[in-house]
Amino acid sequence: MPEGQQPILELQGITKSFGGVEALRGVDFALLPGEIHGLVGENGAGKSTLMKIIAGVHTEFSGRVLIDGQATHFRSARDAHAAGIAMVHQELSVAPDLTVAENVFLGNQPTNRLGLVQWRRMAREAGEQLARFGIDVDPMSRLGDLPIGLQQLIEIARVLFSGARIVILDEPTSALSPPEVERLFVTLKRLREQGTAIVFISHFIEDILRVSDTVTVFRNGRKVAETASAATSKGALIEAMIGRGGEALEHSYTDDLMLPRPSDSSVVLKVDKLSLARSLQDVSFEARAGEVLGIYGFMGCGQQELSRILFGKLKPDAGTLAVDGTPKRFTSTAAARRAGVALVPESRRAMLFHQEPVYKNISISILDRISSLLLKPAQERDIAKHQIDQLQIRPPVVGLDLGMLSGGNQQKVALAKWLTYPPKLLVLCEPTRGMDVGAKNDVINIVRDLRAMGLAIIVLSTEPETVLSLADRILVLKRGAVVREFRNEPVSKDRLLEAA
Partner 1 sequence: MVSSETAPATGQRARGLVPFLRSQMRNIAPFLTLIFLSGFFALASPSFATIDNLGNILTQVSVTGIIAVGLTFVILCAEIDLSIAGIANVTGIAVAYFTLQESYVNIPNIPLPGAAAILLAILLCAALGLVNALGLTVIGIPSFIMTLAMMQIAAGISALLVRGQIAYKVPDLITTLGSGAIGGIPWIVIVAAIMLLGGHLVLTYTRFGRYIYMVGGNREAAEYSGLNVKLILGAVMVISAVCSGIGGMLGVAHFGSAQQNEFDTYLLDSIAAVVVGGTSLFGGRGGIGNTIVGLFVLGVLNNGLDHVNIDSFLKILIRGVILLAALIINVYAQRLREKAAD
Closest CA to 281 of 308, 312, 305: 305
Q: Which of 12, 263, 333, 441 binds partner 1 (CB under 8 A)?
A: 333
In the complex with partner 1, the residue whose CB is nearer, 395 or 422, is: 395
Strand 85-88 to strand 9-18: parallel, antiparallel, or no bridges (unpaired)? unpaired
Reduced to 3 states (helix: H, G, I; strand: E, B; else coil), residue 88 is strand
Whether the upstream peptide bond of residue 395 has omega within 30° of 0, thus cis, is yes
Distance CA 85, CA 79 (A): 9
Asked if residues 447 and 466 have their Cβ atoms less than 8 Å apart, the reply is no
In the complex with partner 1, the residue whose CB is nearer, 299 or 397, is: 397
Q: For the chain, how far is it from start to end, CA to CA, in angstroms?
A: 31
Taking the complex as a whole, the smallest distance from the CB of residue 318 to partner 1 amounts, in Å, to: 23
In the complex with partner 1, the residue whose CB is nearer, 399 or 490, is: 399
Residues 335-354 interacting with partner 1 (rule: CB under 8 A) = 336-338, 342-343, 345, 349-354
The reply to whether 378 sits near partner 1 by the rule CB under 8 A is no
Residues 393-432, mask of contacts with partner 1 (x by CB under 8 A): -xxxx-xxx-xx------------x---------------
Reduced to 3 states (helix: H, G, I; strand: E, B; else coil), residue 395 is coil
Taking the complex as a whole, the smallest distance from the CB of residue 378 to partner 1 amounts, in Å, to: 13
Three-class SS of 168-186: EEECCCCCCCHHHHHHHHH
In the complex with partner 1, the residue whose CB is nearer, 202 or 307, is: 307
Taking the complex as a whole, the smallest distance from the CB of residue 379 to partner 1 amounts, in Å, to: 12
Distance CA 113, CA 133 (A): 30
Q: Which of 131, 334, 437, 453 binds partner 1 (CB under 8 A)?
A: 334
Q: How much is the CA Rg of the chain, to the nearest whole Å?
A: 25
In the complex with partner 1, the residue whose CB is nearer, 37 or 360, is: 360
Distance CA 26, CA 158 (A): 33
Q: Assign residue 198 a region: left if phi > 0, alpha if psi is -120 to 50, beta otherwise?
A: beta
491 bridge partner residues: 257
The reply to whether 313 sits near partner 1 by the rule CB under 8 A is yes
Q: Which of 209, 267, 299, 364 binds partner 1 (CB under 8 A)?
A: 364
In the complex with partner 1, the residue whose CB is nearer, 223 or 348, is: 348
The reply to whether 113 sits near partner 1 by the rule CB under 8 A is no
Interaction site with partner 1 (CB under 8 A)? 311, 313, 332-334, 336-338, 342-343, 345, 349-356, 360, 364-365, 367-368, 371-375, 394-397, 399-401, 403-404, 417
